[in-house]
């Protein structure tokens, strides 16, 4: 009787161990650890599958075993499935990877402006399309700065804008000071290099990891105690390779979000690789905005000083 459902029980225990010990999965071969961490929340789908198999096998011990990964998943991600959005906030920010090949940049800009955010960060700006975004956002956002392929638009004055070197050879990150009514805040906009999953090489992310380290150094040296990072980091908060950034900042989605907040791909979001991270301000709400003609969803947050 105890052998009935042994395969399901063993699978449940292995699943629980994978989720608990994911930080110990080595990155030496194909960045396997980072790949698993990127999609770690989806391993929870295996829990009802194993529970169904346990029921089919009529195995009580297998059902008990399935409780172990269920509890582990809830401990890791249970806090993200609820709506923690609160009222109020001193500043609303939006971040959007608009996609360099966006067929309707003007429509995308209008959709972002319709959010009525105070500060908007756009990444993957094709140089030829920058004037389109500038015209479409001019009425709502009188202050803006574009550096390379990233840009910042604001209702409040933007000063001390400068590129941030993330070791790419061209500009995909910037820093500026936004002087909100409650005081100045340092706003970083970044688009880290893309990652790829290849059969012969695994999860290729070395360039992204180096850029993340450089961005982390820049943020660590930031003298303003209030810091907001907006952009596409091409990685999730679980990915250890972004630790240089994520260890010193809080995710608005994790602290005050509505659900998982997956942002990519827009047609069927599977991961939150677009981020709003903060230090020195308090998140009160975080959510995803309706889809535009980009392959990413816009994301938004409200923070209080």
Share of the chain above pLDDT 90, in %: 88
Q: What is the pTM of this model?
A: 0.92
Task: Please report which confidence band the pLDDT of residue 205 belongs to, taking 50, 70 and 90 as the band edges.
Answer: confident
pLDDT at 116: 97
The angle formed by the CA atoms of residues 153, 284 and 154, to the nearest 5 degrees, is 10
pLDDT in tens, 170-199: 999 999 999 999 999 999 999 999 887 655
Task: Please report which confidence band the pLDDT of residue 35 belongs to, taking 50, 70 and 90 as the band edges.
Answer: confident
Q: Enumerate residues 6+ apart whose C-beta is below 8 A from 305.
A: 90, 91, 180, 182, 183, 185, 226, 281, 282
pLDDT in tens, 133-176: 999 999 999 999 999 999 999 999 999 999 999 999 999 999 99
Mean pLDDT of the chain: 94
Distance CA 100, CA 175 (A): 21
Average pLDDT over residues 18-41: 90
Q: What are the beta bridge partners of residue 214?
A: none
Which domains, and CATH codes, for the chain?
6-80 (no CATH), 91-304 (3.60.10.10)
The pair of structure tokens assigned to 202 is 């695994």
pLDDT in tens, 58-100: 899 999 999 999 999 999 999 888 899 999 999 999 999 999 9
pLDDT beyond 60 at 226: yes
Average pLDDT over residues 214-240: 97
């Amino acid at each position: 009787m105890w052998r009935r459902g042994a395969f399901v029980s063993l699978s449940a225990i292995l699943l629980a161990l994978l989720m608990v010990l994911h930080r110990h999965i080595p990155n030496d071969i194909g960045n396997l650890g980072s790949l698993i961490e990127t999609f770690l929340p989806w391993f929870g789908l295996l829990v009802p599958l194993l529970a169904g198999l346990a029921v089919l096998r009529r195995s009580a011990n297998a059902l008990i075993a399935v409780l172990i990964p269920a509890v582990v998943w809830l401990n890791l991600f249970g806090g993200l499935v609820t709506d923690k959005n609160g009222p109020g906030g001193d500043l609303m920010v939006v971040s959007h990877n608009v996609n360099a090949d966006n067929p309707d940049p003007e429509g995308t800009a209008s959709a972002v402006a319709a959010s009525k955010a105070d500060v908007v960060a756009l990444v993957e700006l094709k140089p030829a399309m920058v004037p389109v975004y500038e015209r479409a956002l001019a009425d709502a956002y009188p202050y803006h700065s574009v550096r390379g392929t990233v840009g910042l638009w604001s209702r409040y004055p933007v000063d001390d804008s400068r590129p941030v070197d993330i070791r790419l050879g061209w500009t995909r990150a910037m820093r500026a000071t936004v002087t909100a009514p409650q005081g100045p805040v340092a706003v970083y906009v970044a688009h880290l290099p893309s990652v790829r999953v290849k059969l012969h090489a695994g999860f290729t992310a070395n360039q992204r990891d180096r850029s993340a380290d450089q961005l982390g150094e820049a943020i660590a040296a930031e003298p303003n105690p209030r810091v907001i990072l907006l952009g596409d980091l091409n990685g999730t908060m679980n990915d250890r390779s972004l630790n240089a950034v994520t260890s010193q900042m809080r995710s608005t989605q994790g602290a005050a979000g509505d659900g998982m907040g997956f942002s990519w791909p827009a047609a069927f979001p599977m991961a939150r690789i677009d981020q709003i991270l903060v230090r020195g301000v308090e998140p009160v709400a975080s959510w995803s905005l309706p889809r535009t003609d980009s392959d990413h969803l816009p994301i938004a947050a409200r923070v209080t000083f």
